[in-house]
Amino acid sequence: LSDTLGLLRRVLYLDPNNTAAAELLMELYQRCGLMTETLRLSQELLAREPNNRVAMKSKAIALASGAPRFVQPIHDPPWSSW
C-alpha cells in the first residue's frame, strides 16, 4: 500500500494535472485514514476542476472526519524527506 501511495504521489509530482491519479490517491488516503492529505488533495483538484465530483465527495468526507478546514498545498515532492 505504501508503494502505491508513493507511486501515485510521484505521478502527481511529474504530472500535477493527472486527474485520474489524484482521484485514486484521494481514495487511498481515505482508506488509510489520512484525512488531512485527502482534504489537501481535494482542495488542489477542486481549484483546477471545481465540478469534480470525486474531489467534492473526498472533501466532504475529510471535513466530516474532523480534518482541519484550512491546509496549505504541498509544493515539494513528497519523497524529498525520505
- pLDDT tens per residue across span 8-58: 999 999 999 999 999 999 999 999 999 999 999 999 999 999 999 999 999
Q: Which of 15, 78, 22 is nearest to 55 (CA)?
A: 22
Separation of alpha carbons 23 and 67, rounded Å: 18
Separation of alpha carbons 76 and 51, rounded Å: 26
Confidence of residue 70 (pLDDT cuts 50, 70, 90): low
Confidence of residue 82 (pLDDT cuts 50, 70, 90): very low
Q: What is the pTM for the complete model shown?
A: 0.80
Separation of alpha carbons 8 and 29, rounded Å: 11
Q: For residue 72, what is the DSSP state?
A: P
Separation of alpha carbons 79 and 53, rounded Å: 28
Whether residue 76 is predicted with pLDDT greater than 80 in this model: the reply is: no
User: Rg (Cα) of the chain, in Å, rounded?
Assistant: 12
